[in-house]
Amino acid sequence: MKNVTLRQLRVFGAVARNLNFSRAARELHLTQPAVSMQIKQLEESAGLPLFEQVGKKIFLTEAGRELAHYSRNVTQQLIEAAEALAELKDVNRGRLQLTIISTAKYFAPKFIAGFCRARPGVTLRLDVCNRETLLGRLSRNETDLVIMGHPPQDMDLTLEPFAPNPHVIIAAPEHPLARARRIPLKRIASEIFLIREPGSGTRRLMERVFGDHGLAVNASMEIGSDETIKQAVMAGMGIGFLSSHTVQLELHARRLVTLDVIGFPVTRSWYLVHRRDKRLSPVARAFKEFLLEETAGLRQTPAPPHRARRH
């Protein structure tokens, strides 16, 4: 069937339900000749009669029964599509796809939970991943919004700084420098560091901080997660450079300490990020507004995201 219109299917559905052209016309607020014309055009497209008249009654032909089956499916799918589009317009019922860098899992969930409590009808998909995976999803437009600490330079993004992200140097409580004060960065650079994998935003920042002072990091081991670095530092295998948000529990339990290094903590910002060409849904816009409003008191004038400040 070619050139069948939704209007024709709507008229056909009404006639098939009522088995009466006059009642179908009243239901559709059309004239009976207009209904008859739509059915005639539909039968011409089908190449088969869809109704037959026996006495004063009309009945569906075999072709009519087949078309009625598919017409109901099409109508139902259109209803579902309309409901889905309406849901996307509703900031209380839509869907939000949010991706956060693994380090942000210690900080961001309390704000995400607050948004979900305020809008319990929203369906949230939350992905926690490393930098490489996160940037891949951004480049392929597979997520609505991203929370990260070190946005890339080579993508056309909208960046909204919303909270400070201080970085510290951590050690085991029994480390020889644990009680030292005002430790020069040159002295700390000679210590054995446990560092994140290449490409990690935390590693990039650490290398920029030390590199800005003409220093290289004495890295003994590359480790792919903050949790493992914390465990290794607690075991006395070396010291680490991490966002302070990742170590609050361990500091409180006195299983780790922050070293008093001159110029630390190094504070950058957490960013809410999306592609500049991304057409944010109403729910995504609502989350963005919620996050920026909730963190208004935390915000600071951020350092440039791609260069470490000198200390």
List phi, psi (to 5°) of 5: -105, 160
Does residue 170 sit in the same domain as residue 261?
Answer: yes
Say how many domains are in the chain: 3
Does residue 85 sit in the same domain as residue 215?
Answer: no
Say what the pLDDT of residue 305 is: 38
Does residue 109 sit in the same domain as residue 240?
Answer: no
Instruction: Look up tokens 């995976």; give the residue.
Output: 133
Distance (Å, rounded) from C-alpha 310 to C-alpha 170?
20
Say what the pLDDT of residue 244 is: 94
List phi, psi (to 5°) of 127: -115, 130
Say what the pLDDT of residue 304 is: 40
Task: Domain of residue 149: give its range.
Answer: 95-163+269-294
Q: What CATH number is given to the structural domain containing 224?
A: 3.40.190.10
User: Is 303 among the domain residues?
Assistant: no
Does residue 251 sit in the same domain as residue 290?
Answer: no
User: Is 106 among the domain residues?
Assistant: yes
Q: Give mean pLDDT in consecutive 10-residue pieces for the chain, a chain of 311 residues.
A: 83 93 94 95 92 92 92 78 66 84 92 93 92 92 93 92 95 96 95 90 92 91 91 96 94 96 94 92 91 83 37 33
Distance (Å, rounded) from C-alpha 214 to C-alpha 118?
49
Strands 95-101 and 219-223: unpaired
User: Which two three-digit tokens encode residue 95?
Assistant: 């869907």
Say what the pLDDT of residue 197 is: 87
Structural domain ending residue among the three candidates 72, 89, 106: 89
Distance (Å, rounded) from C-alpha 171 to C-alpha 238?
7
Q: What is the pTM of this model?
A: 0.66
Distance (Å, rounded) from C-alpha 193 to C-alpha 239?
5
